[in-house]
Copies of this chain bind each other. A is one copy, B any other.
Amino acid sequence: MNKVIVLCKRPVGKPALDDFKTNIEDVPSADDGEVLLKTTYVSVDPYLRGRMNDSESYIPPFELDKPIQSGIIAEVIDSNNTRFKVGDFVLGNLFWKEYQVSDGKDLRVIPKDPAYLTAYLGVLGMTGLTAYLGLTEIGLPKPGKTLVVSGAAGAVGSIVGQVGKLLGCKVIGLTGSDEKVHLLTSKFHFDAAINYKTAADLSGAIKAACPDGVDIYFDNVGGKISDDVLNNINKHARIPLCGAISLYNDADPVLGPYIQPVLVKKSALIQGFIVGDFADQFAEATKQLTSWLMDGKLTYHETIYEGFDRIPQAFLGLFDGSNEGKMIVKI
Task: Mark A residues whose CB is within 8 Å of B.
Answer: 50, 57-58, 219, 222-223, 226, 235-236, 241-244, 247-248, 253-274, 277
Contact = CB atoms under 8 A, between A and B. Distances in A.
Contacts of A257: 253-255
Given A263-B270, A267-B277, 5 more contacts: A222-B261, A226-B260, A242-B264, A247-B258, A264-B274
Contacts of A259: 259
B241 A264 contact: yes
A259 B253 CA distance: 9
A58 B260 contact: no
Nearest to A57: B265
Contact of A272 (B244, B258, B260): B260
Contacts of A274: 264, 267
Oligomer: number of copies: 2
B260 A247 contact: yes
A269 B270 contact: yes
A253 B258 contact: yes
A256 to B, nearest CB: 5
A267 to B, nearest CB: 5
A244 B258 contact: yes
Contact of A222 (B223, B248, B253, B258): B258
Contacts of A50: 265
B57 A260 contact: no
Contacts of A260: 219, 222-223, 226, 241, 244, 247, 272
Nearest to A237: B272
28 contacts: A57-B265, A58-B265, A58-B266, A219-B260, A222-B258, A222-B261, A223-B258, A243-B264, A244-B258, A244-B261, A244-B264, A247-B258, A248-B261, A253-B257, A253-B258, A254-B258, A255-B257, A255-B258, A256-B258, A259-B259, A260-B272, A262-B272, A263-B272, A264-B273, A267-B274, A268-B271, A269-B272, A270-B271
A273 B267 contact: yes
Contacts of A258: 222-223, 244, 247, 253-256
A26 B264 CA distance: 39
A239 to B, nearest CB: 9
Contact of A266 (B254, B269, B272): B272
A235 B272 contact: no
A57 B265 CA distance: 6
Contacts of A254: 257-258
What 4 A-B pairs have minimum CB-CB distances, sorted nearest first? A222-B260, A263-B272, A253-B257, A244-B260
A36 B127 CA distance: 64
A271 B226 CA distance: 16
A58 B267 contact: yes
A265 B261 CA distance: 22
